[in-house]
Amino acid sequence: MTNRSEAARGIGIDGHRDGPNRQRSPRTTTAGVWVPAALIALLTAGPASSEEHGRLPPLPESEWGPEVREMLGGTYDRVAELEGAAPEAERETLNILRTIAYHPDLLGPFLGFATALAQEGTLTRRDSELLALRASWNGQSDFEWGHHVVYGLAAGLTRAEIDRIPRGPEAEGWSAADRDLLLIADQLHRRQQIDDTLWTRIASRYSEAQLVEIPFVVGQYTMLSMVANMTGVALEPRFEPLPTLAD
């Protein structure tokens, strides 16, 4: 099977391999600048319907080159596993991956890193999803929150625990270990550091590899919240958006 990073190499931004005979049909040129057809359609369209995407629409499947198609096709079973669904469940490509697909050279390495972190990490899936959900809440990303609610339930978080995450580490009901993970996410969000007291507690609880992995998890889903928010990645209808906290 083609290596992801090799598959990404040499592909133009529309997912087609660059070369002297490259066809530019999926592009429109404006003042000598190649513009994605999807962006032209967005800029020239009328008022957006509720199902259309804002800012940067996901790369249409018609513009996927063979390498991009292979990379995105390889995500179906991994996403189904995260969701706790059967591999033969209805397959869909996540909107955020279709957005990253505008940059194929980034897509390949990103998919490898994301897989290593989410499915080959040393933290339990439950701990990883608790961190991811708090990072998604802190980043106020509907997209990341909605997907990680499903992943979190599959990983062993209860509905009550997920509903409590927006209230933070001081909410009643958390174990000491869960409270510390939420504190880590909050402190990293605020100042990219945790205090010595918190470090002492978690250093006695987690392995060296897990201590390294924790900020990677928080950073990954903070970054993806930024990507989703800035480019306007729409949350698919079957997922729930961020909750609204009562005063």
Residue 85: which pLDDT band, with cuts at 50, 70 and 90? confident
Least confident of 1-15, 75-89, 163-177, 208-222: 1-15
Residue 219 predicted with pLDDT over 70: yes
Instruction: Specify the length of the chain in residues.
Output: 247
Residue 247: which pLDDT band, with cuts at 50, 70 and 90? low
* Amino acid at residue number 28: T
Specify which residues 30 forms β-bridges with.
33
Q: Percent of the chain beyond pLDDT 70?
A: 76
pLDDT per residue over 168-209, tens digit each? 999 999 999 999 999 999 999 999 999 999 999 999 999 999
Q: How is the chain split into domains, by residue range?
A: 1-20+57-120, 125-231
What the block records as the tokens of 53 is 């995407």
Kindly provide the residue ranges of all beta strands, DSSP E only, lying in the chain, ordered along the sequence. 27-30, 33-36
Identify whether the C-beta of residue 105 lies closer than 8 Å to the C-beta of residue 9: yes
- pTM attached to this predicted model: 0.78
Closest to 84 measured CA to CA, from 154, 153, 132: 154
Residue 31 predicted with pLDDT over 70: no
Domain 125-231, CATH homologous superfamily name and number: AhpD-like (1.20.1290.10)
**Euclidean distance between CA atoms 151 and 14, whole angstroms:** 30
- Which 3-state string (H, E, C) describes 69-80? HHHHHCCHHHHH
Kindly provide the residue ranges of all beta strands, DSSP E only, lying in 31-180, ordered along the sequence. 33-36
